[in-house]
């Protein structure tokens, strides 16, 4: 009976660990999404600057 109880406790700990892992995964995904969003914003700014420079050259 004690080994069975130990395995159930171990399984419960594993479940907690997987839940914690999911949380960390979500945070990582959030950080990646934020970085991707920042990169997209920077790319748009650079594109706008290039456009301004070339339109100035055209004048």
Interatomic CA distance for residues 9 and 2, integer angstroms? 10
- Please state whether the predicted TM-score (pTM) of the whole model is above 0.85: no
Which pLDDT value is given to residue 5? Answer: 60
Q: Per-residue pLDDT tens for 5-54? A: 655 665 666 656 555 556 778 889 999 999 999 999 999 999 999 999 88
pLDDT number for residue 24: 77
Within a 13 Å sphere around the CA of 17, how many CA atoms are in the beta-carbon half?
A: 6
Please give the helix or strand (H or E) that residue 46 lies within, else none: helix 2-58
**Positive or negative CA dihedral for 24, 28, 34, 35?**
positive
Q: Quote the pLDDT of residue 58.
A: 60
* Exposure of 9 in the CB half-sphere (CA atoms within 13 A): 6
């Amino acid at each position: 009976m004690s080994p069975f109880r130990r395995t159930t406790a171990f399984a419960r700990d594993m479940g907690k660990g997987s839940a914690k892992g999911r949380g960390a995964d979500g945070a990582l995904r959030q950080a990646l999404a934020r970085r991707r969003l920042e990169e997209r914003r920077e790319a748009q700014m650079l594109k706008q600057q290039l456009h301004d420079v070339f339109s100035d050259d055209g004048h």
